[in-house]
Structure formats: C-alpha cells, structure tokens
Amino acid sequence: MSATENEAQTAPGTAQFRASGRTAGPASSTEDAELLAALGYEQKFDRKVSLWANFALGFVYLSPLVGVVSLFAVGLATAGGPAIFWIGLVGIGQFLVALVFGEVVSQFPLAGGLYQWVRRLWNGRYAWFTAWTYICCITIGITSTALFSSDFVASLFGGTADQPGISSTPAERLWIALGMTVFCLICNCFGTRTLALISKIGLAAELIGIVLVGFYLLIFERHNSVSIFLETSSSTHDHYFGAFIAASLVGLFLFYGFEACGEIAEEVPNPARSIPRAMQLTVAVGGLAAVFAFIGYALAAPDLPAILSGEDSNPIPSILQSSIGTVGTKLVLLVTLTSFVAGVMSQQAAASRIVFSFARDNMFPGARLFSRISRRHRVPLNALLAVNIAPVLLFVFVYYSPDSLTKIAAFQMLAGYAAFMMVVLAALRMRLKGWRPAGAWTLGRWGIVVNVAALGYGLLGMVLLAWPTGDSATAFVDRWIALIGFLVVSAVGLVYLLTAKPERNSTAPEGDALEVAERLRSRAALITSTTGGTNA
C-alpha cells in the first residue's frame, strides 16, 4: 500500500487534497496546505504573515501604548499609583489563558480562531454562541478604539503649547472615528501583505513611543518619587480596597488582543508552532512595555495631584509638552496615532476572519456572501465590510450620547472575557474526557494545571468587570451597565440560536478534538516513517 493510500486512511482530507491536483497558494507551503486539508478545509488564503508579523498583529491589537495613554488618568484617579500593579496581575492571568489558547490553536490552526476551536472542543451550538459573543466584543472594540483616538487626533492637529491636551467635541469625535474606520478598512482591503506591513509599522511605533520616550522621561524628567506606587489613597472611594478593585480595569482593559494571532491562522506559515509563540510574546512583551510606559508617565507628571483628583482627565499631552516640548509632543502623538490605526486594522481583520469562518461552515446568515474571498488580494471582502456596519451605527449613538463610550467599553471587555472563558472551559472539559493536545506545541503534563488556573483567573476577571461602578447616587443602569449589556446581547444570541438552530445547517467537517488528535498523531507517525524522521 502506498504512503498516500495510508494517509487517506489516517488523515482524510490530505490525500483528497493531493488527488484533486490543487496546489497551495503562492505564499503557502505544501505541508501547511496538507495540514489544513487534514482538518477538512481547502487553502484559499495566501500565507504571508511571518512569526514577527503575527506577533506585531497581536501586539498592536493589545497596544500597550494606546492602552496606557487611554487608561492612565482613570487608573491614577481611581486608586493612585498602586493601580500599576493590576498590569502585572492581569498580565500573569492572561499569560495562562494564552498558554491554553496556544495548545488549542496548535492543533486547530484555522481561520476564525475561537469559533473553530470550541466547535471541535464542544459542539456547533456552543461554538455559535461563543462566536456571537466574541464578534460583538470585537465589533465594539473597533468602535471604542476609533473613538478613543479622537482626543489624540484633536491634540495632534489642534493642541497648542499652552493647551497641548484638548478634548474633541462630539462632532469631531464622530468624524474622526468615521475617518479612522474608513481608512483602516481601505488598507485592509489590500490584503494580508498590507495588514502585515502596517502591523510591523505599528509595532515599531509602539516600541519607539514606549522605549525611547519612556527612557527619556525616566532619566531626565522625573518630578515624582517612586513611592507614589505604594501610597494607598483615593479621592473617589471611602475605603482603599474598593478603589484598588475598581482600578482593576487598568489591567483588564489592556490585556486582550493576543487571540487575534490565531484568527488569521490560515495566513501564517507553520502556524502550529509560530502562533503559540506569537501569543506568548504579545502578552509578555506587551505587559512589560505597559508597565514601563505607566512608570515613565507617572514619574514625569508635572501636576500629579490634578491627575489623582480627576481634574486632569487627559494628562498625557501635558506631560509630554512639559518634558519634550511642542515638536516632541506632536511626534509622540503621531506615533500614538499610528498605533491606533494598526489597532483598528487588526480588530477589523480578526472580526472579518471569524465571520468568514462562521459563514464557510454555513453557520451565519448570508453564508454564501460572507464566505467569498476576493480574487486579487485574497481577503474576505464582504465579511470585512459587514463587521464595520455596527461600529458606524455606534459612532452615531455616541454622538448623541457622549457619556456612553465608557459604558460601551465596559460591555466590550466583559463579552471578551466571557468568550475567552468559553474556550478555556471547553478545553478543560475535553481534557477531562481524555483529550491530549496533538499540535506541534503543547504544555505536556502541565496542561491540566494551567487550564484550571486560567479558568479561575478568567472567572475572577469576569466578576471584576461585571461589578457595579459608581456610588449609591449613580443610576442603577449605569452602575450595572457592563452586566446588563452582556445579558441583553447574550439573550438576543440565545433567542436566535434556539429558534433558528443554525448548527443544523452546518457543513463543517466532522470530528471532535479527541478524534482529530488521534488523526493528527497518525499523520505525524506516517510522515516520520516515510521520511526517516527528518520532518517529524
């Protein structure tokens, strides 16, 4: 019996791929295409995203520079300097989640990430709800990132030496967010190569904005003592414990986006090995960069009491103006704006790939339309356009309700953590059923321990995100807005899921994680035996 015939028995899809006469795309290796075929899909994307480009994509999605400049004032006003510790605490927890994701994506390096993972780890219905939750999260992520950029754009083009940090008006915020979204959408339409290039530019911009500016602030512009990171006082809470818990948003809002590395798995060469590494690098390097930036800005703040009291809600431009002057401030704001562009682009790309993957399995309304790939640039153009409709509508909503931006962001993070924990829970469930990850990267005997720890951390994070904000004078809906928003979106998804039953129409390849793991092990053993171990 020939090697190809043997492989047809152990890895259905691989032999069919070869027999069909299809060849991998111009930037795709035969091995990657055969692994994809073994998982039941045909290679359609070009694999042009290298390990470093994939890391850059996750890094600019997480964007420590954007996260710190957006949350710096909120953290200090809520709990003072010790708010910085949440970056480390959340970073450790999310690194555990990234390790679990790494094992799963190594076995299932498929476009659409979370949806594809949980479909194999649980079932189609569970996968549909996970994907619904996650798509809502990313859609609002596009909205909040574009809107948060407005003050920095306003400061870049309208700030003065006397008033470097200015807040955009509702009308300016609307037009800036629209312009940002449309520009990023156009760039994304030019394909994976453009996405990878801008991700790398964004990574370089982030590192310049954090490392060079951070070092300068720490060495030449220190106005405050490092003791501020140990001073436990708050002007917004009667008891410091409550203030410190409220400041958890500094870390919880910052550490997400590493999963985007897996959303474009079918555009990455050797994804089973490179994507887990990219995820881990995203969390580790992003966390260290965020801590460094937070320390630099806090120690260089010329009027720290104004930030702690909440009087100065946009202090970064003022800190830069007093430290590096008008020209330097404009350059750093330009770098920050580059990071915003890369961040929005990566969110659009991640959302479009999960919609494409959803539609490819006939699990999404208009599946035939959204599963199409453009011929020239090899992108899911219709899906890319679709994921930007809701952000545009939300821009208009925020225009008429300017105070709703933070409420939208609160729901976004709770939905994101819920989707993450659905993956972690599904992985733990499958482990207890005997699943041993069969990808090129695994945790080995530590898998179950890390999985349980990641689930515990994630559930704690969800509790903190759902916890009521404000005080007794704050309206009930405003205090519980994150949880209420999450429950409403979940209810809508469940109603559709239970009435339309989209999983019944699924054309997805069969086989759960256990079956696929054995199939991949058999495939690996076959390759080893036919090549003498050189490709093991």
Position 49 in a domain: yes
CATH of the domain at 158: 1.20.1740.10
Nearest to 193 by CA among 247, 264, 243: 264
Position 471 in a domain: yes
Residue 339 in contact with residue 65, Cβ under 8 Å? yes
Position 514 in a domain: no
Position 437 in a domain: yes
- What is the number of other CB atoms lying within 10 angstroms of the CB of residue 496? 15
Nearest to 432 by CA among 215, 172, 122, 193: 122
Per-residue pLDDT, 316: 83
Mean pLDDT by 10 residues, the chain (536 residues): 37 40 50 85 87 89 81 87 93 96 94 90 92 91 88 76 68 92 94 87 84 85 90 76 85 86 90 94 92 91 87 82 84 84 89 90 86 88 93 88 74 90 96 90 93 96 86 77 89 93 86 77 67 50
Position 526 in a domain: no
Return d(Cα 212, Cα 393) in angstroms, integer: 38
Position 194 in a domain: yes
Position 3 in a domain: no
**Number of domains present in the structure of the chain:** 1
> Using DSSP, how many helices (H) and how many strands (E) does the chain show?
25, 0
Return d(Cα 427, Cα 423) in angstroms, integer: 6
Return d(Cα 424, Cα 448) in angstroms, integer: 11
What are the φ/ψ torsions at residue 385 (nearest 5 degrees)? -65, -40
Helix (H, G, I), strand (E, B) or coil at 208: helix
**What SS3 string covers 339-351?**
HHHHHHHHHHHHH
Could you tell me the residue range of the domain that residue 499 belongs to?
A: 41-508
Whole-angstrom CA distances from 535 to 31, 400, 528, 529 are: 10, 59, 6, 10
Residue 364 in contact with residue 502, Cβ under 8 Å? yes
Position 336 in a domain: yes
